[in-house]
Amino acid sequence: MQSPRLFCLCAIFLLIFSSFSSFANEAFRLPQHTHLSKQAVHLNIDPQKQVFSGVTTLHLSFAKPTDVISYHSKALNIKDVYLQYHGKRYPLTVQAPNQYEIVSHKAPLKLKDSATLHIQFSGNLSSHHEGLFRGREQAYLLTQFQSMEARGVFPSLDEPNKKSIFKFSVSTPIEYDVLHNTRVHSITKQHATKLTQFKATPRLNTDILSLAIGQFNATPLDTGHLKSKVYVPKRIPITLPTYFNQIVNASISHIETYLDAPFPFKKLDFIVGNYGSVAAMENLGLVSINYNQIPDLDATDKAHCQFKKLIAHEVAHSWFGNDITMAWYDDYWLNESFTEFIAAKVIQNLYPNQDLCTYTPQSRAFKDDNSKAMPLVFDVKSRKDTLAYGQLHYTKGRALLEMLEQAVGERAFQSLMRRYVDLYHGQNVSTKQFIKLFEDPNLQSVISSFTRQTGYPLVTLSRHNNQIFIEQKDLFNRPEQLWTIPVSLKLWDGGKISTHKLMLSQHKQKVALNKDVKAVFLDAGGVGYFRFVNQSDFEDIPIHKLSRQEKASFNDNLQALAITGHVDFMKYTNALVTELNLLQLGTPRADEIVSTLIDAYLEHVQLNSVSPYTSYLQKHIKLKIQWQQALEKPYGNSLMKLYGVYMQDSNAVNAAKRVYQSGEHIGHAHFDAIVMTLAKNATNEEYKSLIQDFSAIPTTEKEAFLSGLGYVDSAFKAALYYDLLLSDETQGMVIDYRFQFPIFNPALRVSSVQLINARKNEIFNRISSESLQWFPYNFLLACSDEQNKAVHQLFESWQSISGLKSKLSIVSDGIEQCTLNSERIGKSILAASPHSKQ
Ligand SMILES: [Zn+2]
């Protein structure tokens, strides 16, 4: 699965996850001796109705005699349960599930070998994008079962290691089509009802079952014997990028070759729809894709790169996740890291010049991995715990695999992966079993130290008395943290480049290097899950001698050093601006620098520094921008954000106004940046009229419009914005994380606290308590003692929300960290712009 919030900075919210729930001492797992050999599920669904009903038969087998029958059921109304055993029927009393949604019946006698369980039930459509729910367009229903949500649609053994064969049939009003993991076996029409029966599934876990009910357009893909199709609800106008078919085929063939294992299943269709905050989901044979992930043709290379990677990722799940499945939810990183690892390889191989989005996964992970983050492997007992899955399971996990690959060598690592796939084909795997693949205890320790510990080390190279040392230190100052780190040094003797691999497992170690070494780079390959400083008297390797991945790592590391005070912040900014002035607009590096400057406004430039920082950029950036032309190019997007929203440049603002007033904004590739710029620079009256425009904006544009409207510059506008979020106009849209947009503006952080406090009841009515626990993340970019205090005061009366306290503590930790750094950064900005007004 992937959450779209992982893809944009607007979505820092939900990026760091944690949860420290306390559990009653009660079994949270089904009995391990009970297996589900097959299950038949029949559902009666009318998309116009809120209630659905069904009957199911579970064929259970028992590894040892038992007198307890258990299964999962969540918010279902169970009407009738009976057991069929040795030809006899035993009615069972309907029982309520326990806190882990497990229903247990005392069997009337000791059961041996096997029995069947028959359950009649009904349920309600979910009001969130989980279980069985309505697409926002109302005309179709979709499902999202990962994690632990299948049990909200039918009773089952809803655990990843209870793989089984499922046979589905669905009755609907005659005008609807039903899609499922497998192909249709038969369709029977009677009066106004249509019964769609499906072929049995391969053995799979409940999380990757899927249904879609509605009217769909189907586009065939050329995928050989798989005969794939892409389904889109009829009312959604979607154009798939022309490369879609190519990326699906290339992913399959590349992964088949890499793993020397054929595509494990017989079907690979796709369904596009409104999946809320899920970007895509690997449901076996019917992969879900959120329509908001599909980039416009004129979107940036980065957006296309990310979409391609998303598709490669979902295809890769056929092996990692669907065929080889995590043993339990605490091994989720195995599902997601392997798919990210392989997806990056597919993109780098297929699009070597447009693969920037696949570099340095660690640099994203570093943003979230601190002392309060969750380790990759952590205890999961309930659905609530799985909400702690964050981008680290993707980015940190992949970075870890890449470090291992570099340590053992590409070929040797490929052999290991092939062995893994061969050994565990069709089964479930735990982290322990993965670790056992590696015979070298050092490598085992690499995996355990990075999956069990949070944060990441700072690696330093130094020289004293002609001896070279390498050392590690926890960036969060926890003395007990120690990692086993595969480090690969890139060396230069003035002529030749070479690499030196070592395993850093102590706090400080000696390194033996050749005498002729002149320059070093501490992260050869750009895959190290650490920050690094060269404090030795070796020079840094000239940047043009680094690979593109290494350059990405170098730039990212330099930024981190500038934020943490190892390098002066404005010296670093100046280097960026100088580099930008020499680049052509639209090159990936120019885009990257513009994005870095935007990020600086979001994360590092605080209230007193906004004006001098802006003056500095206005004075030193020498780009000549023709706005009309720029807005027709992909790079116009981030340029409009930097100039229109942050530097409030009048030419940019006028260009945005022109587009909006001429009506060209509908369907405009940079609609989001244009709305953000208008919101920020509008008068109060103009802003009111923008808010009024929301109801008339076409559905396809509403998501971008609603986010863009949040980039405001006054408490007056922020109040209007929050009222819009809480109004009926946004029903069916995810509003929780959008509260952060006004808070991006350092001038509005304290007043936003008051505005939110005044709307507490409406917020509680609108957002489920499961989601409310993440609300403090809206303040993740807050950055002063005063703001920290205000945030704590706001949430004081929210403490009854389960899980909120730990989220607040992570946010608060981030605020403190930022406050410490911001003082130094602020001084650096002021020093660089001594004449600017404050
Ligand atoms: Zn995934």
- For residue 279, the model assigns a pLDDT of 93
Question: Helix (H, G, I), strand (E, B), or coil: what is residue 328?
Answer: coil
* Region 31-39 average pLDDT: 96
Whether residue 15 is predicted with pLDDT greater than 50 in this model: the reply is no
| pLDDT tens digits along 493-528 | 999 999 999 999 999 999 999 999 999 999 999 999
CB atoms near residue 233 (< 10 Å):
22
Whether residue 365 contacts residue 396, with contact meaning beta carbons closer than 8 Å, is answered with yes
| Span from the CA of 89 to the centroid of ligand 1 (angstroms) | 42
| pLDDT tens digits along 182-233 | 999 999 999 999 999 999 999 999 999 999 999 999 999 999 999 999 999 9
Tokens of 218: 């189907």
* Region 548-571 average pLDDT: 90
* Region 346-360 average pLDDT: 92
| Span from the CA of 310 to the centroid of ligand 1 (angstroms) | 8
| pLDDT tens digits along 712-771 | 999 999 999 999 999 999 988 889 999 999 999 999 999 999 999 999 999 999 998 778
| Span from the CA of 157 to the centroid of ligand 1 (angstroms) | 22
| Span from the CA of 240 to the centroid of ligand 1 (angstroms) | 20
Distance (Å, whole) CA 41 – CA 510: 63
| Span from the CA of 280 to the centroid of ligand 1 (angstroms) | 8
Q: How many CA atoms lie within 13 A of 589 on its CB side?
A: 15
Instruction: Tell me, rounded to whole angstroms, the distance of Cα 570 from its chain centroid.
Output: 32
- For residue 328, the model assigns a pLDDT of 96
pLDDT tier at 21 (50, 70, 90 boundaries)? very low
Angle in degrees, CA 228, 36, 93, rounded to 5? 125
* Region 51-67 average pLDDT: 97
| Span from the CA of 146 to the centroid of ligand 1 (angstroms) | 10
* Region 161-172 average pLDDT: 98
Q: Where are the domains of the chain?
A: 1-22+218-455, 457-563, 568-832
Angle in degrees, CA 663, 668, 670, rounded to 5? 120
Whether residue 298 is predicted with pLDDT greater than 50 in this model: the reply is yes
Distance (Å, whole) CA 591 – CA 598: 11
| Span from the CA of 361 to the centroid of ligand 1 (angstroms) | 15
pLDDT tier at 584 (50, 70, 90 boundaries)? very high
The 3 state secondary structure assigned to 415-475 is HHHHHHHHHHCCCEECHHHHHHCCCCHHHHHHHHHHHHCCCCEEEEEEEECCEEEEEEEEC
Measured over the CA atoms of residue 370, residue 371, residue 376 and residue 378, the dihedral's sign is negative
| pLDDT tens digits along 279-289 | 999 999 999 99
| Span from the CA of 326 to the centroid of ligand 1 (angstroms) | 12
- For residue 20, the model assigns a pLDDT of 31
Domains 457-563 and 568-832 are alike in CATH topology: no
| Span from the CA of 311 to the centroid of ligand 1 (angstroms) | 10
| Span from the CA of 315 to the centroid of ligand 1 (angstroms) | 9
Average pLDDT, the chain: 92
Whether residue 837 is predicted with pLDDT greater than 60 in this model: the reply is no
* Region 817-832 average pLDDT: 92
Residues with CB under 5 A from ligand 1 (ion): 1, 336
CATH topology (fold) of 457-563: Immunoglobulin-like (2.60.40)
Whether residue 554 is predicted with pLDDT greater than 80 in this model: the reply is yes
Whether residue 2 is predicted with pLDDT greater than 80 in this model: the reply is no
| Span from the CA of 312 to the centroid of ligand 1 (angstroms) | 10
Instruction: Tell me, rounded to whole angstroms, the distance of Cα 309 from its chain centroid.
Output: 13
Whether residue 9 is predicted with pLDDT greater than 50 in this model: the reply is no
CATH assignment of 1-22+218-455? Answer: 1.10.390.10
* Region 350-364 average pLDDT: 89
| Span from the CA of 378 to the centroid of ligand 1 (angstroms) | 18
Tokens 């040797």 identify what position?
412
Distances (CA, A) of 590 to 526, 576, 747: 20, 9, 29
Does 3 or 687 have the greater pLDDT score?
A: 687
Please report the beta strands in 191-334, taking only residues with DSSP state E, as ranges in sequence order.
193-198, 211-214, 216-220, 229-233, 269-273, 280-281, 286-290, 325-326
| Span from the CA of 721 to the centroid of ligand 1 (angstroms) | 33
Measured over the CA atoms of residue 195, residue 196, residue 202 and residue 207, the dihedral's sign is negative
pLDDT tier at 455 (50, 70, 90 boundaries)? very high
| Span from the CA of 346 to the centroid of ligand 1 (angstroms) | 15
| Span from the CA of 782 to the centroid of ligand 1 (angstroms) | 31
| Span from the CA of 408 to the centroid of ligand 1 (angstroms) | 26
Whether residue 594 is predicted with pLDDT greater than 60 in this model: the reply is yes
The region of weakest confidence among 50-59, 173-182, 291-300, 487-496 is 291-300
Class of domain 568-832: mainly alpha
| pLDDT tens digits along 69-115 | 999 999 999 999 999 999 999 999 999 999 999 999 999 999 999 99
